[in-house]
Structure 1
């Protein structure tokens, strides 16, 4: 067993305890432990120079520094995620507002175009196009023949086309 393995094995429980006290997330605890082992390997000569009483203090410093650095990195990532969430939420709100503005404009435009129709014509076109009723159902609701519904729908469509063409110019 080499010097690094020996030292890591000797202080494994101590390192794990400090790491566990630093984070609740098991993955982060494992990261702290692994990075600490790497730091011990990098600093093995310095660690072996100090007496046994101070080795524990030295290792404690390494673990706490690693935990602090990992916390900062993790916190920055969480902040980035929060900023992205807020940006997406703001974008979603902007899209919804734009959609609502378009919907209001469309409703106003439709109301304006529908002004060219008589009340019974408005009922027929709305029942057909907005509510999706069949001609037979519309005829039954309005107490007229199905043929009349078809004829009226054709006349209504012609009127609406003329009104739309008139508004576009």
Structure 2
């Protein structure tokens, strides 16, 4: 990472990036590792996030604030998710080989494939939400942040976190209920009222 910083000619930008790395580097690595579950890939994702930050330094006014922390965490999270998808795509096995790779338990291979496909569709629908909603759902359910940690990131109260999370879930349910693929596959059974 130090070699990358040394290549930046503008001293002010270099100093800002170094300060971001010192302050948030470990947090960024943790977020990336949770997604990728691979030490080397998580390091690569953090480095890619800093490369992306070079073009977005004008959006960062203050280093030590929750808004900046949320910004860098979301960047590294998105890069990590893209890396995970790319790795998954490259490692795609044939259906014949899948039966040998998956443990033999009560769930049939068809059910596992459907579950993976539905998970992808749900993630896709989360991305369609308003950014504030998709970010709060991601932090809560994919990265397992507590309400208190999310409140600190967004500089809001825990009660406000719960309200936003409730609204985000309602919006997601509405999007999912409109998804013909999920309805056809029998995943979405009814309305928000539990019908």
Q: Which TM-score band (shorter chain)?
A: 0.3 to 0.5
Task: Kindly name which structure, 1 or 2, has the bigger radius of gyration based on alpha carbons.
Answer: 1
TM-score by length of 1: 0.44
Higher relative contact order (CA 8 A, sep 6+): 2
> Which of the pair is proportionally richer in helix?
1
TM-score by length of 2: 0.38
